[in-house]
Amino acid sequence: MITIKYYATLAAMAGRKTEELEASNVRDVLRHIKTVYGSAAYKEARRMLITVNKESILLKKVFATSLKDGDELAFFPILAGG
């Protein structure tokens, strides 16, 4: 079981800030988001900074990043500005 944390717009779309889920990789979580919360939530999730145990998946295998029991997956908004 992994813990998923949603922030900003994605939290509003999901109607929750956290949930637990059985998933073997990030792609499974994205598939869950699309199925349960819809295509708009899925698109929003793919645009966000995704971390596993506070480390960006961009440093790993992106959506194929493996997940194991006890991992924490989080979706953060990407902010820009000066």
Domain-embedded: residue 82? no
Contact in structure between 72 and 54 (CB atoms under 8 Å): yes
Work out the number of other CB atoms within 10 angstroms of the CB of residue 55: 10
Does the residue 35 lie in any domain?
yes
Number of domains in the chain: 1
| In a domain? residue 23 | yes
Structure confidence by residue, pLDDT tens digits, 23-51? 999 999 999 999 999 999 999 999 999 99
Widest distance between CA atoms in the chain: 39
Supply the pLDDT for residue 62.
77
81 lies in some domain: no
Domain-embedded: residue 61: yes
Inter-residue contact 51 to 76 (CB < 8 Å)? yes
CATH value at residue 45 = 3.10.20.30
Domain hosting residue 46, numbered range: 2-76
Q: pLDDT category, 80, cuts 50, 70, 90?
A: low
17 DSSP assignment: S
Taking the C-alpha atoms of residue 59 and residue 2, their distance in angstroms, rounded to an integer, is 20
